Structure 1
Amino acid sequence: MKAKTVLPAVAMTAVSMVLTLAVVVMWLGTAMPWPVALVVGLGIDGGWLATLAYERRLAAQGDHSRAVTAVGWSFGLIATGVLIAHALTADHAVGAWLAVAWLPIAAKALWLVHGLWERTALTPTALDAIRGIQQEARDEAAVARARLRAEAATEETRLTAVTAAGARVARVQATTAKTLSEAWSTLETARKGEGTGRALTSVTTPVTPDVTPRWDLPVWGPTEPAGAPALEAAPALTDDALDVLVDEIRTSRIPALSYREMAARFRAAGHSASEVRLRAAWKRVA
């Protein structure tokens, strides 16, 4: 990865230096001796190369100097300015020379990109650790998605089964209710019929002479409980009254009754109290 960023920068820097030197020699060679023009070109390229080498040394040490960076960019701008001036004063191929005038600035930009890569580069161990963490996160996400899909499918199956069972129960109940309704309707019709009693009597008279039985078919509806009428709800006893009743029942025999016997006699006498209040009264009087 390092070669992918440093090789383009080195190549473009070399091309820019050669181009700058050639342009300076061709442009200034007409106005001064070519050795002098060669020295000027080498000076520009040498200053650029020296500042670049110093910048790389500082970068290798983890340091940075704004002054050195400014000087390096100054040499790059000078080279670009020389190329642009030569292109504007050339008699022919002006566009071609302007097309290559940006190479020094591009070379400096590539070295900037390479420096940013070096400051953010990671070791292979760190990259492997990052890939492992990312893979683990992807695995956990995949497992979580699979678990959710499985739970959703299971819940859907359960709800479908419950719904189907509920529908079957409802159908059975409806069928049973319809059957009972028809049976009771038939029974009610028979009970209210005028000839039902006479028909039953004519059947049983030969078997039980001199006895007139009474035939009453069962009635479908509310009935009253056999025996004594239900006791009216007695008013709630106060704690003092409850204590007196509990004490009287408990001491009605010698030795005193146990709680179980007392509670049975208390309720048999028609009194009403919750188990909590009755046990609390027992504790108070016992």
Structure 2
Amino acid sequence: MKAKTVLPAVAMTAVSMVLTLAVVVMWLGTAVPWPVALVVGLGIDGGWLATLAYERRLAAQGDHNQAVTAVGWSFGLIATGVLVAHALTAEHSAGAWLAVAWLPIAAKALWLVHAMWERTALTPVALDAIRGIQQEARDEAAVARARLRAEAATEETRLTAVTEAGARVARVQAKTAQTLAGAWSTLETARAGEETGRALTSVTARVTPGVTPHWELPVWGPSEPLAARSLESAPALTDEALDVIVDEIRTSETPALSYREMAARFRAAGHSASEVRLRAAWKRVA
């Protein structure tokens, strides 16, 4: 990389010195002896080369001297002035000489660029470390982007699954509610029908001859739970006492109460008996 900046500067400096020496010899050779013109040309090139060498030495030491830099630019401007003056006074090819008059200034500018490159140049170890850091940062950024995309895809899948499950639950609930409403509507129609009790009585007449039960189908509506009673507060009843209580509750109204109504009033009165004994007493008294 160093050769890419120093070689152009060296080449342009050499060309500028040759042009300056040739122009001085040709321009002043007609007015003074050519050895004098040669000395003048070598003096300009020598001064320029000496200041350039001193600047390079200071740059190698990490130092800088503004006076030396000013002298170097002065020699460059002198060489450029000589070329421009020769181009303006030349009878032939004035444009060509004027086109190359900028070479001394360009050479100084290239040495300036080379000096700036040297001040900012890094060792191969440092460059490898920088490349490693940059590659690590790119890898971390790529991993972070992949993680975010994966999390977004997972969340989208989860939301889709939850939405579909909720929709299925809603459909099942709606279907269940519709079926239940239809069942209770059918039950209400049967309960309110005039022929319901007669039909049920005709079915059960063969099973319980001589008994005309009072049929009531369940009614859709809220229910009130019975107050809980401890078994210790209700004394155990004998079969005879249980039969008497059941018969009194059953015949307390006309027509006689059904088993369900009798059982509800039996337990509401605070009596205690198992379902088996209570049904047996109902059968005995009925």
TM-score, length basis structure 2: 0.77
> What aligned pairs does 1:23-42 form with structure 2 within 5 A after superposition?
23-42=23-42
CA offset digits 1:234-283 (Å, max 9, x no partner): xxxxxxxxxxxxxxxxxxxxxxxxxxxxxxxxxxxxxxxxxxxxxxxxxx
Amino acid at match of 2:185: S
> What aligned pairs does 1:1-286 form with structure 2 within 5 A after superposition?
1-227=1-227
Distance in 2 (alpha carbons) for counterparts of 1:57 and 1:50: 11
Amino acid at match of 1:115: A
Amino acid at match of 1:15: V
Amino acid at match of 1:196: T
Distance in 2 (alpha carbons) for counterparts of 1:49 and 1:189: 122
Q: 1:227 to 1:34 in 2, by over 3 A?
A: closer
| Larger CA Rg, structure 1 vs 2 | 2
Amino acid at match of 1:143: V
Aligned-pair CA distance for 1:69? 0.1
- The number of residue pairs the alignment matches comes to 229
Amino acid at match of 2:113: V
Amino acid at match of 1:107: A
Distance in 1 (alpha carbons) for counterparts of 2:71 and 2:226: 118
Amino acid at match of 1:56: R
Distance in 1 (alpha carbons) for counterparts of 2:67 and 2:158: 75
Aligned-pair CA distance for 1:211? 2.7
Distance in 1 (alpha carbons) for counterparts of 2:77 and 2:54: 18
* Runs (4+) off by over 4 Å: none
CA offset digits 1:134-171 (Å, max 9, x no partner): 11111111111121122222222222221221111111
Aligned-pair CA distance for 1:47? 0.5
Q: Superposition RMSD on alpha carbons, in Å?
A: 1.5
Amino acid at match of 1:110: L
Secondary structure (helix, strand or coil) at the match of 2:213 reads coil
Distance in 2 (alpha carbons) for counterparts of 1:34 and 1:191: 142
User: Sequence identity, in percent?
Assistant: 89
Aligned-pair CA distance for 1:30? 1.4
Distance in 2 (alpha carbons) for counterparts of 1:193 and 1:223: 23
Aligned-pair CA distance for 1:227? 4.7
Distance in 2 (alpha carbons) for counterparts of 1:155 and 1:38: 86
